[in-house]
Structure 1
């Protein structure tokens, strides 16, 4: 396909776990790819928990700007057909809140897309949001969804059940000889690998479904996932349970010290209480993911 006939996508969130895979997935599907980033250097570095480093060949254009500062984004939407965003707080340490990043940054992108005449906007939210609306992170995500629904944009929402990058924490704890679980770990989940989820995102961008939920092939409890990590690293299973009453108390203390980390802690604790299961759209097993982490260790 000639350059002028390719669909042109701008990808926001490209330095994150999912975003790096999304850049590769859109490029491999034949898109002309513009990447929005605050740091060119971070794009070219490997991300956490097997997220790939990107190369110049994975991108056609690198746009350096800050989504928190719309004045730095002039020209971002020029010639673009599709906007993809997985922008959100994961392990940021800049003191910003979910409201400031997960909501306001995406709202800035939506406003730019509307004024730029963009054809379609793909946003990555979360599955099971209706059960998590007391959380700041969920409120921010769903405010973005509401903005898209009220806009003139042809939007698509992807709702993952969880990320393998979160499961990487279980591997790290197992490799050190002990896992800590919030609650008994009996809640069910089927998180999805970033590479598989990126493929779902491209499929959704090209499809007719307005909202697509996505999980991985393995449905298991958190305790089973922790035990699997021990099996892969070859160490005896040692799991320490943090009672919910204690975890909730710790959340209150953390929240007094830092609103950002308090919100993150609240999310982690709540995730230990509820099921997170969705359609099996991924193919990569959790065992193979743990094994890849072990090979790279």
Structure 2
């Protein structure tokens, strides 16, 4: 089976590509820049040029493909708007896949998207789910709530650097999952008839609040966090200001999603019925404790090596005789 992966250079997409390659699928990745995607080619993937916002490029990318895994999403720094990428682009991709007779279509949405109609990204995901369900494609929708990888920049790095960790509002407990584990569900769905035309939550074993994560990072790093609270009113003010400028639209839409994370409502769901369907053992899924433990162990070891080498170099310089 040949699988086209869209968004393969992203945090989640690259793990999906790696997993599919490891399981023996012929993997094709649609990319805007072959240079930035060179690592995918080294892994064994075929690279094809394409852009969600250029529908005329999709037909060639889909030629000879049996299945599509869509892990693409817009970034706050993109020149194109969230609507252009996550709605117009996805609609074009779904239509092209239906016209091309694609056998399976795996789409990543967001958990509880239907509960936040006033948040652009959540509403776009909800509408895309509906459009996909009505497309005639044989689809599977996976709904993660948060990636463990995102916690490194948000919590771990600031704590190690002695910088402020920003916490907003009441903070929603989130059931984070490692993107490598999420990729397992996406690739498994390709071969499982039980997942066809259905939606599934794909979340971690428990929801973690911001202060719980901070305390865990403090314990694992041996360092104390500098916590700063951002009032929700200030966040809304920044969002309103950003909406006045075209360059700030993506930022404003992302800040709207930040309000979801500051609402205090948990983003979590039971996975008891999901694991058996996908044939995945719950015990094989990485816990947040294990993920952060591995990160801090590797980083602290590296820091010790750097300190040792720096100290060694200083001693050698002191021993050097004067030269003329």
The TM-score normalised by the length of structure 2 is 0.81
In structure 1, what is the equivalent of residue 161 of structure 2?
176
- 248, 269, 275: which is aligned to 1:278? 269
| Structure of higher CA gyration radius | 2
Q: 2:216 aligns with which of 228, 253, 260?
A: 228
Who is 1:129 aligned against? 113
8 A contact 1:161–1:278 mirrored in 2 = no
Shift of 1:55: 4.6
Which secondary structure state, in structure 2, belongs to the residue aligned with residue 21 of structure 1?
helix
Q: CA deviation at 1:139?
A: 1.7
1:268 aligns to what? 258
Provide the residue aligned with 2:310 in structure 1: none
Matched, 1:259 2:249: yes
Give 1:10's match in structure 2, choosing from 4, 27, 46.
4
- Alignment deviations for residues 26-54 of structure 1 (CA, whole Å, 9 cap, x no partner): 1122211111101122223xxxxxxxx53
State the partner residue of 2:68.
83
CA distance in 2, matches of 1:242, 1:111: 42
Paired residue for 2:134? 150
SS in 2 for 1:71: helix
Distance 1:20 1:237, change over 3 A: same
The answer to which of 20-29 and 251-260 deviates more is 251-260
Tell me how large the CA RMSD over aligned residues is.
1.9
Instruction: Find runs of 4+ consecutive structure 1 residues off by over 3 angstroms.
Output: 279-282, 291-294
Q: What's the offset of the Cα at 1:108?
A: 1.4
2:49–2:61 contact (8 Å) kept in structure 1: no
Q: CA deviation at 1:11?
A: 0.4
Secondary structure of 2:36's partner? Answer: helix
CA distance in 1: counterparts of 2:167 and 2:242, whole angstroms: 18
Q: For the residues of structure 2 that align with 1:234 and 1:109, how far apart are their CA atoms?
A: 47
More helix by share: 2
Correspondence for 2:227: 239
Q: Distance in 2 between matches of 1:57 and 1:175?
A: 32
Q: By how many angstroms is 1:206 displaced?
A: 2.6
Unaligned runs of 5+ in 2: 276-281, 303-324
Residue deviations 1:204-252, cap 9 Å, x none? 2333231110112343212111222233332113322222222222222
User: Under a length normalisation based on structure 1, what TM-score does the superposition of the two structures give?
Assistant: 0.87
Judge conservation of contact 2:114–2:123 (CA < 8 Å) in 1: no
Structure 1: tracts of 5 or more residues without a match: 1-6, 45-52
Q: Secondary structure of 1:121's partner?
A: strand
CA distance in 1, matches of 2:7, 2:241: 30
1:289 aligns with 2:295: no
SS of residue paired to 1:75: helix
Rounded to whole Å, the distance in 2 between the matches of 1:172 and 1:254 is: 27
* Match 1:56 to one of 42, 45, 55: 42
> What is the deviation of 1:192?
0.6
